[in-house]
Amino acid sequence: MSGFIDVHGHVVLEESMGAAGAACGPELGNYPDGTTFFRVGDWRLDGVPYRESLFMQAKLRLEAMDENGISLQALSPNPLTYLHWIDENDASNYCRTHNEAMASLVSEHKDRFLGFAALPMQNIGMAIQELEYSVKELNLLGGYIGTDFGTDFDDPQMDDFYAACCEFNVPLFLHPAPSGLDGPLRDPRMRKYDLDLVIEFSYEELVATSMIIFGGVTRRFPNLDICISHGGGSTMLHRSKLRLLAERRPSSPEWIREPGEFDRELDRIWFDCHVSGREEFNFAISQLNTDRLVFGTNFGGWDSGAAHYPAEMIEKLNTNAKSLLRLDSNI
């Protein structure tokens, strides 16, 4: 394969519009002056023409993939529509509609697209059922969920979900969503200047990584492949301090106080290396396990781009992606 395998490409699916009910939507529409809006409940994103963009036009996406040297792309739910805080039945209906539409899109372009499933994480049992259906009946890759849905990643309730991911032999991808869409707004300051897209996301990724490690998730489920977006946010910056926290603070579990245990568990976690800068990429490969790094772009998004990835990394990142996504090593 001459181009990259990109694991970070969100889509918006026409079939999913309104699938969570009239109150939640989602809805694509136009104001009287023609300006577009995208609505989730009472929240609106103005001025983004999704229907005319590569988020909804496969032809435009494929053309842009060719221009950017991407041979294969894993498509994933739009973070604006994880819908982890709405009624569980509405969420389940939405996820089923979304996932069937995702499978249909992938089936039309099997040589270029793969797909991830949206899951109703407000009910772990429903999430497991949807994951099983999506993997076994729709041939999707695995689950793609947010980082905040009311149950912490170290909560014992999550163990059945992790066990299901292992049983079905599929990866689990984590990617934040802006708070306040269908759940609680964490910090109103993050809404100014769209700071949530950088600061809040980075915080959420760091918290998710830390909860998974300190909570012993990767230790209890050594075959669980969790991939966290954007290089784990602030994780790589705080690796040394988290190590000290693990080894020195009395609140740390006893097992992680042993030297080397924190690093061993961190190195089990996968990260996509969409970090938006050559210097940041170099820092990521200095701080994270390079056998667990995969290529990502946030394709078509405001911060998308692949120019900072050195050509010599293509083979390494693609080999990693094939392992993570359970792809044939010969593709």
**The residue count for the chain:** 331
- The residue-averaged pLDDT of 15-20 equals 98
Say yes or no to pLDDT of 277 above 90: no
Asked whether 46 and 35 are in contact (CB, 8 A), the reply is yes
Distance CA 228, CA 214 (A): 16
Whether residue 49 lies inside any domain: the answer is no
- The residue-averaged pLDDT of 262-267 equals 98
Angle between helices 124-136 and 159-168 (to 10 degrees): 10
* pLDDT grade for 1, boundaries at 50, 70 and 90: low
Mean pLDDT of the chain: 95
Residue 26's nearest CA partner among 121, 111, 131, 97 is 97
Say yes or no to pLDDT of 309 above 90: no
* Domain enclosing residue 222, as ranges: 4-24+57-325
Whether residue 157 lies inside any domain: the answer is yes
Q: What angle do CA 227, 292, 233 make, to 5 degrees?
A: 55
Q: What angle do CA 206, 212, 213 make, to 5 degrees?
A: 90
For the ranges 26-30, 80-84, 96-100, 186-190, the lowest mean pLDDT is seen at: 186-190
Give the amino acid at 169.
N
Whether residue 330 lies inside any domain: the answer is no
- Give the pLDDT confidence score for residue 288 in this predicted structure: 95
Element (H, E) at 9: strand 4-11
Say yes or no to pLDDT of 86 above 80: yes
* pLDDT grade for 125, boundaries at 50, 70 and 90: very high
Q: How many domains does the chain have?
A: 1
Whether residue 30 lies inside any domain: the answer is no
How many Cα atoms sit within 13 Å of 34 on the Cβ side? 0
- Burial classification of residue 251, based on how many CB atoms lie within 10 Å of its CB (0-12 exposed, 13-18 middle, 19 or more buried): exposed
Whether residue 47 lies inside any domain: the answer is no
Asked whether 228 and 204 are in contact (CB, 8 A), the reply is no
How many Cβ atoms from other residues are within 10 Å of residue 137's Cβ? 11
* pLDDT grade for 312, boundaries at 50, 70 and 90: confident
Whether residue 211 lies inside any domain: the answer is yes
Q: Which residues contact 274 (CB under 8 A, 6 or more apart)?
A: 8, 229, 230, 231, 296, 297, 298, 303
Asked whether 140 and 134 are in contact (CB, 8 A), the reply is yes
Which DSSP symbol is given to 249?
Answer: -
pTM of the model as a whole: 0.96
- Burial classification of residue 21, based on how many CB atoms lie within 10 Å of its CB (0-12 exposed, 13-18 middle, 19 or more buried): middle
Strands, DSSP E only, in 260-309? 270-272, 293-294
Is 33 strand, coil or helix? coil
CATH code of 62's domain: 3.20.20.140
- Burial classification of residue 216, based on how many CB atoms lie within 10 Å of its CB (0-12 exposed, 13-18 middle, 19 or more buried): middle
Whether residue 78 lies inside any domain: the answer is yes
- SS3 track for 4-57: EEEEEEEECCHHHCCCCCCCCCCEEEECCCCCEEEEECCEEEECCCHHHCCCCC
Whether residue 197 lies inside any domain: the answer is yes
Pairing of β 70-77 and β 4-11? parallel
Residue 256's nearest CA partner among 195, 213, 196 is 213
User: What are the residues facing 227 on neighbouring strands?
Assistant: 173, 270
